[in-house]
Structure 1
């Protein structure tokens, strides 16, 4: 009886550890994704500012927003 309980405890703790690892990895991936978007946005703003919103800048902005 106690052996079955030990196996259940072990399985539960293993599942919790797995969820924790996935959670940390998920947060890291989301963080990198947000950072990447922020850098892309900063780059876009710089490109638009440099080009003074002429044809090229607007085209780049439109292309990125569409995709």
Structure 2
């Protein structure tokens, strides 16, 4: 069973990592909600949204230029 694909480009950049991580996070979120752990599912959803939407903006604004 193939769970994700990570590609290495010519400039040593890795692509496909964010998509694979979001798939794993969504599956964990579904398991937590299905098990009745609603608070934990809410915290996980908040962390996923923060890391996908807000954290890249923070890294671009405050982080070194090599991360941009």
Range into which the TM-score falls when normalised by the shorter chain:
0.3 to 0.5
Q: Normalising to structure 2: TM-score of the pair? A: 0.40
* Greater strand fraction, Structure 1 or Structure 2: 2
* Greater helix fraction, Structure 1 or Structure 2: 1
Q: Normalising to structure 1: TM-score of the pair? A: 0.41
